[in-house]
Structures are given as structure tokens and as C-alpha cells.
Amino acid sequence: MKDKKPMKPVFKEGAITSDFIGNSIYKHQTKTNIGAHNIFLGQVRADDINGKIVSAIEYTAYEDMANQKFHEIRELAFKKFDLTCMHIYHSLGTVKAGEICLFVFVSSPRRKVVFKALEYIVEAIKADVPVFGKEIFEDESHQWKVNS
Amino acid sequence: MKDKKPMKPVFKEGAITSDFIGNSIYKHQTKTNIGAHNIFLGQVRADDINGKIVSAIEYTAYEDMANQKFHEIRELAFKKFDLTCMHIYHSLGTVKAGEICLFVFVSSPRRKVVFKALEYIVEAIKADVPVFGKEIFEDESHQWKVNS
Amino acid sequence: MHITIKYFGQIAEVTQIREESFKFSGNLVSELLDALHLKYKDLKNKDFKVAQNQELVSGDVKLTGDDIALLPPFAGG
Amino acid sequence: MHITIKYFGQIAEVTQIREESFKFSGNLVSELLDALHLKYKDLKNKDFKVAQNQELVSGDVKLTGDDIALLPPFAGG
């Protein structure tokens, strides 16, 4: 049935700031068995869709299921790859074009594994986590984002 | 013969700070055609080698050739991958265990390409750039680092 | 039985509610979907997956009484 | 001719200098290396590559008069 281990919080209200990311990197400098970090950042694009420009994405999620899926992705990644640590943060609510909505951070003693692990985790998030994105245009109309 | 385009400075004296990395991320938030960033960080490990602990690595380089190689890696990566931007920073001099000595940052409209590009660039740096690392132990003896 | 049904994203735009307790006597997920399509005509133009108790299920799965969610295409990251 | 030779890392530990102007009358990189091995006996235990004008070269390449560098194993990143 459901895994009962404590889950790390993933969702953050609004954009993920560069200060938050810098600080997260800083905290890993005490872990002196780490030799390689790999970080993925998803940033909201100001896409031009038939002449209308995306100004922001408003994220919602089926939070209970999403947290469960993030947890499963996390557990499986630790099983598959020799990682020292892993952090996942995803925005909820409004994230403006140019701002960061996804921050995935993996660390390992050696580099080869972090590349594989990071891509695996990001692809799993895109495919398996019930997060929904409403692309808001500058004229306040909207369309729904679909991952490709 | 040698490429005469201007080269971006890569080497930095001492460790690369988390503030510098955070600030570099911040500067990309005006580039609203970017959808995905991928960042590699090399961190100095406090390896235990026959009971002696690495406390720092002292980096030197054949700087002219290294800058040329970084430039070639950069040009080739832009040719091979659809990247919006790319930044490479490498330390010279002393970097203590836990501190960051390599910062590679690639950005693209879409995510698939950043994973491939980042791994390509990091492996090319490790293989082709004449940088040398003296691992300093806590008792001030040393050995020379070799990339694996 | 009464089943709690949750709607998200563009599906919630169709239903105009995010959650409801739906009285239903059928056995299968597909039967529940038929009933929902009758109630919300515009669902037929929408792409969505169904989760029961937070796991994706296909139409031939039996209803357990756990929460059902109608999930439009995922767009995380 | 006089060739500028640069030494790095553990090779500079052997030679005790980082750079020298070396007077030499041979034609090939391998001949220059033979002369350097005579001058610096401990080079024979060391692993290194040779660059001429900042490009790696093998022993059978002709000397051009450009800078030669003896490069121990790379350890960037």
C-alpha cells in the first residue's frame, strides 16, 4: 500500500529564487564526501503562441498524489543511483516568465552518476506527477500547458 | 590555425562561491526564451587516501593552452547542441575540501538538449584541458590528482 | 455508494467545481465515467486520466469507494 | 635551435623549474624527449604528454621551434 515514510516538502508557493538555490548549494559545502553536483532548473518561457505572449504560468496540483509521486521518484532514484543527496522543489501558484518553477539537485561522490540520475528524475517528474499549468497571456486570456 | 575569436575568461582565483553561482542564475531570468538550465558543480572531496585526508587541492594550468581548449569545447558545444548560453568557470590556486572548483552552466529553450550538452562539456573539460591538481593532505604532504 | 470526485485544471473548468460527492451504484471506473460524461457534456472534448486512491487506473478497474480524480495532461516543471 | 620548454605539476617537481630555453639540434619531438630524459633522470618514472604550440603531439612529429610543454595527467574539475 502507500509508503508511510516521512515525505520531504516539494511544493513552494510562487517562484523559486536564485537566492534559495545559492543557499541550497552553500549548505552542501559541509558534505565533503561529495565530488559532483548536478542541478536542473525549469524556467517559465515567454512563448509566443499565435501572436500572444505567455506572461506567467499558474501551477496547481493534485497535491496528495503529487507528493506521493515525488516520494516514489525519490526513493527509486536513491535505489538506482549512488547519490549522497537529492532535493526537489516545484512551484505552486503564479510563476512569471523568466522565473524558476522547478529545482532538482542531486549530489554524489563521483560525476558519472549525477548526469544519469538528474535526467531520470526530471523525466519522471514531467511524466508521473499530477501538476497542471495554466499559461496566462499578456491579455489575461489563457491556455493549458501540456508537457512534451 | 588558432581561432582568433575573443575568449571568455574561465579561470578564477580560488573557490567558486555559492553567491557567484546564485547571481549567475539570477542574471538569466531576463532571458525569457530559456526553458531549462543544467548546472554541473565539481566540489573538492576530503578523500581518505591510506589514512591521510585531503584538505585542499591546489590547481595550476597551462593557461594559454587551457583557455584555447575551453574555447574549442565551447564552440563545438554550440555547434552540436541548440544552446541559448553556456558558461564555464574553473578555479586556479587553492580550493579547500567542500568548496567548488568547477561550474558549468548551460541553458536552452527545451530540456532534452541541456542534459546531453552538459555531460559532453564536462567530459571534454576533464579529458582535454591541461589543468593539474595537487591534493594537499592535512599533514601538508601531497599527491597529484589524476582524472578517472 | 458515494464517491468523492476531484477535478483539476481544464477539467475543473468544465465541471465548474473542484470536488463533489457523487452518488453512484455501478461497479467499474468506466461506468462512473459514463455517468460523469452525461452530467458534464463538455468532458467528451477533454483529454484526461483517472486516478483512484492516487494511482492511475484504466476503465476496467473496479471502484473501491476511494477518491477518484480526473487529471488533465501533466505539465510539471 | 633554442626551444622554450614548459613544465607543469609533478613534471615541474622533477625539473625544479617551470620553463627553460633549451638548445637543441635534433628534428623530432622524440629526439628532444631523449635529451630531456638525459638531463632529468627522474622523468622516466613519470607519465606525461607533450604539446607543441598548445596542441598534443606524438614523438614522430617534427619540431617547429614553437613552445613545447610537458603535461602530466590532467585533473581539471
What value of ipTM does the predicted structure carry? 0.94
In this model, does residue B122 exceed pLDDT 90?
Answer: yes
Name the E strands within chain D.
2-7, 19-23, 49-52, 55-57, 68-71
Report whether A21 contacts B17 (CB < 8 A): no
Structural domain contains residue D76: no
Integer Cα distance of D10 and D16 in angstroms: 10
Q: Give the predicted TM-score (pTM) of the model.
A: 0.95
Phi and psi angles of residue B109, each rounded to the nearest 5 degrees, phi first: -55, -40
Measured CB to CB, residues of chain B less than 8 Å from chain D are 2, 42, 57, 59-62, 64-66, 68, 90, 101-102, 122, 125-134, 144-147
In this model, does residue D20 exceed pLDDT 80?
Answer: yes
Residue-wise pLDDT tens digits, A105-122: 999 999 999 999 999 999
Structural domain contains residue C35: yes
Long-range contacts of C46-51 (CB under 8 A, 24+ apart): C46/C10, C46/C11, C46/C14, C46/C72, C47/C72, C47/C73, C48/C11, C48/C72, C48/C73, C51/A62, C51/A65, C51/A130
C-alpha cell at C68: 477518484
Mean pLDDT taken over chain C: 96
Within 125-144 of A, beta carbons closer than 8 Å to B belong to none
- Cell 545559492 belongs to residue: A22
What pLDDT, on the 0 to 100 scale, is given for residue B8?
A: 82
DSSP H or E stretch at residue A86 = strand A85-96
Structural domain contains residue D47: yes
Residue-wise pLDDT tens digits, A20-54: 999 999 999 999 999 999 999 999 999 999 999 99
Integer Cα distance of B31 and B87 in angstroms: 15
% chain C with pLDDT above 90: 96
Structural domain contains residue D77: no
Q: Domain range for residue C58?
A: 2-71
Residue-wise pLDDT tens digits, A128-138: 999 999 999 99
Structural domain contains residue D48: yes
Structural domain contains residue C26: yes
Structural domain contains residue C25: yes
CA distances (Å), origin B25, targets A21, A103, A119, B88: 9, 12, 20, 13
From chain A, pick out residues whose CB is under 8 angstroms from the CB of B40.
36-39, 111, 114
- Cell 607533450 belongs to residue: D50
Could you give the angle at the alpha carbon of B28 between the alpha carbons of B27 and B32, nearest 5°?
A: 135
Q: Domains in chain D: how many in total?
A: 1
Structural domain contains residue D34: yes
Nearest to B21 among A22, A30, A32 (CB): A22
C-alpha cell at B80: 552540436
Integer Cα distance of D5 and D24 in angstroms: 11
Integer Cα distance of A47 and C51 in angstroms: 31
What does the DSSP assignment read for A3-34?
Answer: --SPPPP-EEESPBPHHHHHHHHHHGGG-TT-
Question: Strand A131-137 vs strand A48-49: parallel, antiparallel, or unpaired?
Answer: unpaired
Confidence of residue B1 (pLDDT cuts 50, 70, 90): very low
CB contact under 8 A, A41 and B19: no
The alpha carbon of residue A85 and the mean position of all alpha carbons in its chain are separated, in whole angstroms, by 15
Integer Cα distance of B94 and A101 in angstroms: 35
Distance from CA of A38 to the nearest CA of C (A): 16
Task: Compare all CA atoms of chain C with the CA of A41 and give the residue at the minimum distance.
Answer: C77
- Among A28, A63, A36, A55, smallest CA distance to A137 is for A55
Confidence of residue B29 (pLDDT cuts 50, 70, 90): very high
Confidence of residue A8 (pLDDT cuts 50, 70, 90): confident
Residue-wise pLDDT tens digits, C23-55: 999 999 999 999 999 999 999 999 999 999 999
Confidence of residue A1 (pLDDT cuts 50, 70, 90): very low
What pLDDT, on the 0 to 100 scale, is given for residue C11?
A: 98
Provide the CATH number for the domain around residue D17.
3.10.20.30
What pLDDT, on the 0 to 100 scale, is given for residue B7?
A: 76
The secondary structure of chain B, three-state, reads CCCCCCCCCCEEECCECHHHHHHHHHHHHHCCCCCEEEEEEEECCCCEECCEEEEEEEEEECHHHHHHHHHHHHHHHHHHCCCCEEEEEEEEEEEECCCEEEEEEEEECCHHHHHHHHHHHHHHHHHHCCEEEEEEECCCCEEECCCC
User: Residue type for B106, please?
Assistant: V
Confidence of residue B147 (pLDDT cuts 50, 70, 90): confident
CB contact under 8 A, A40 and B37: yes
Question: Strand A11-13 vs strand A85-96: parallel, antiparallel, or unpaired?
Answer: parallel
Span B85-111, average pLDDT? 98
CA distances (Å), origin C5, targets A66, C21, C30, C51, D74: 16, 6, 14, 10, 60
SS3 of residue D13 by DSSP: helix
From chain D, pick out residues whose CB is under 8 angstroms from the CB of B101.
77
Half-sphere exposure of B78 (CA within 13 A, CB side): 9
Confidence of residue A147 (pLDDT cuts 50, 70, 90): confident
What pLDDT, on the 0 to 100 scale, is given for residue C1?
A: 85
